[in-house]
Chains A and B, each alone.
Chain A
Amino acid sequence: QKEVEQNSGPLSVPEGAIASLNCTYSDRGSQSFFWYRQYSGKSPELIMFIYSNGDKEDGRFTAQLNKASQYVSLLIRDSQPSDSATYLCAAGMYSGGGADGLTFGKGTHLIIQP
C-alpha cells in the first residue's frame, strides 16, 4: 500500500527564519511529488511540484527530492506569520501527461511565531 509519511508537528519557527518540512514515501514507483498548503477548513492550495532529483526553487520556496532515499522536503525562507498552515506532501505515479489520484501525507502543522 502506498504511504506518505510526515511529522504532524506542530513545527514552530520564528518569523524570518527558514522552515524545513520533510516527507518520505513508500512506493518507489512514484514519479511526481507535490507540496500543498491547507488552512483550517479550506481545501489544499498547490505550492510546488517536483519530478526530478535535486532542488527546485520558486520564490521563497525550495522543494528537494531524493528518489534514492524516497525523501522530499520543502524549505520556506524568510518565514512569515501568513505561512502558518498545514503543509501536505503528496505523491503521484506520473510525471506529466498522466492522470492518477494522489497519495497524501497527514500534513505538518507549521506555526510561524512573530
Chain B
Amino acid sequence: QSVVTQPPSVSGAPGQTVTISCTGSRSTIGAGYDVHWYQLLPGTAPKLLIYGNNNRPSGVPDRFSGSKSGTSASLAISGLQAEDEADYYCQSYDSDLSAFVFGTGTKVNVL
C-alpha cells in the first residue's frame, strides 16, 4: 500500500507563512511523478490549488506556492488568512499500484 505522508496539522498566525510537506517514495514522487495540491473546506467541493508541482490555476492567489525535490514536495501559504483554515492534500501517482495516490492530509489552523 502506497503511503504519501503529510503532517497532521500546521498552525500559524495571520500574516505568517506556513509550509506543508508531502513525502513520497521511489514509486511515487521519487519516480518523477508531479505533485498537485487541493484545498478542502467543509461543505464545499475540493479545490485544485497547485498542479504540476508549482503551477497555480486561474483564480488561485499567489500566496500559494508549491515546490518539489527528490521524493518530497511542499506547499507554502504566505500572508496566512483566516479563510485559509482548511484541510490540504497533496496528490501524485504510484507506478507500483498504477493508481493515483493522495497524501494523508494536513489541517491548517489560523491562530
A and B associate in one complex: no
B residues near A, CB below 8 A? none
A residues near B, CB below 8 A? none
